[in-house]
């Protein structure tokens, strides 16, 4: 990896189950993760870090975390974990004792500095609840961390989106106190992105003077239905991930990348120019 380029991959909402069981009796999330790992292992250049932004497993069971751990052994780039509303903090910790950043505090917040980029992960999960919340101590921690290196670009990450997306049933389980997060992010212009999962769709929103993005699901996607009474349905649209590319002179660009086999690539040009 060039010293001048930093690649952070974000995958989200894996919903891994144990013993080959299907999520919602439909989705082979284990197979989806294996396919994603193959895709990530083939990326050139390789990512500096892969962040898993929550809903790592489906019901927070220890066996599910063991299945996740076994699958992730095939992933070549280093990775870090974040909890979502489907996760269980204690079971997650116990399954990944070597991930020392998960082992302290009640909530699972962590900081990493990756090749010139600061990553700040906030645990927005609330036990037994689908919606998200970050408490006073977490907000104080975020403010302190953002004050440490104001010149270094930062990605603030949490599972629950702090914004509305228009899909009613998802909007009702977003972050409950976005204003508190917004106030802090607005004071720290080095925050290049606020990154989340949970929506199982890629959505971009202006937030606190920066850009908030949600990652698509790694297997199933939330059905696209912009109505207040949209039923809580999912669809098997193509899975994907976000790739955040940082270059010191060019800034950060976020790519939505599809996972799966598609036709191509094909050339635009031949010896006569643009192909007609």
Contact residues toward Fe ion (CB under 5 A) are: 13, 55
Minimum distance from CB of 125 to Fe ion (Å)?
A: 11
Looking at beta carbons only, is 13 or 48 nearer to Fe ion?
13
Minimum distance from CB of 60 to Fe ion (Å)?
A: 12
What are φ and ψ of residue 213, in 5° steps?
Answer: -135, 140
Looking at beta carbons only, is 118 or 124 nearer to Fe ion?
124
Looking at beta carbons only, is 61 or 245 nearer to Fe ion?
61
User: Cα separation of 13 and 56, whole Å?
Assistant: 6
Minimum distance from CB of 249 to Fe ion (Å)?
A: 36
Q: Which residues contact 108 (CB under 8 A, 6 or more apart)?
A: 82, 83, 89, 92, 93, 102, 121, 123
Beta strands in the chain (DSSP E): 6-11, 49-53, 79-82, 110-114, 117-122, 154-158, 191-196, 203-207, 210-214, 221-222, 234-235, 240-247, 251-258, 269-270, 273-274
Residue 113 β-bridge partners: 118
Looking at beta carbons only, is 23 or 138 nearer to Fe ion?
23
Looking at beta carbons only, is 24 or 255 nearer to Fe ion?
24
């Amino acid at each position: 990896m060039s010293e001048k380029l930093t690649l952070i991959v974000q995958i989200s909402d894996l919903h891994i189950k144990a013993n080959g069981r299907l999520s919602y009796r439909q989705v082979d999330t284990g197979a989806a993760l294996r396919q994603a790992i193959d895709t990530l292992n083939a990326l050139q250049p390789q990512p500096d870090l892969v962040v898993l932004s929550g809903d790592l497993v489906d019901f927070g069971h220890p066996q599910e975390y063991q299945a996740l751990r076994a699958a992730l052994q095939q992933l070549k780039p280093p990775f870090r974990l974040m909890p979502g509303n489907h996760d269980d903090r204690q079971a997650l910790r116990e399954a990944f004792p070597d991930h020392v950043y998960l082992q302290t505090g009640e909530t699972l917040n962590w900081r990493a500095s990756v090749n010139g980029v600061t990553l700040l992960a906030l645990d927005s999960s609330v036990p037994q609840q689908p919606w998200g919340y970050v408490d006073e101590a977490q907000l104080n921690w975020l403010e302190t961390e953002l004050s440490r290196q104001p010149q270094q670009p930062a990605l603030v990450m949490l599972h629950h989106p702090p914004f509305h997306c228009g899909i009613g049933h998802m909007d009702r389980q977003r972050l409950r106190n976005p204003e508190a997060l917004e106030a802090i992010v607005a004071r720290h212009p080095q925050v290049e992105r606020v990154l989340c999962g949970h929506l199982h769709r890629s959505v971009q929103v202006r937030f606190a003077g920066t850009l908030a993005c949600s990652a698509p699901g790694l297997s199933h996607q939330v059905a696209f239905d912009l109505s207040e009474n949209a039923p809580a349905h999912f669809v098997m649209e193509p899975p994907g991930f976000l790739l955040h590319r940082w270059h010191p002179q060019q800034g950060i660009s976020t790519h939505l990348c599809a996972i799966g086999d598609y036709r191509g690539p094909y050339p635009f040009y031949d010896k006569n120019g643009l192909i007609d």
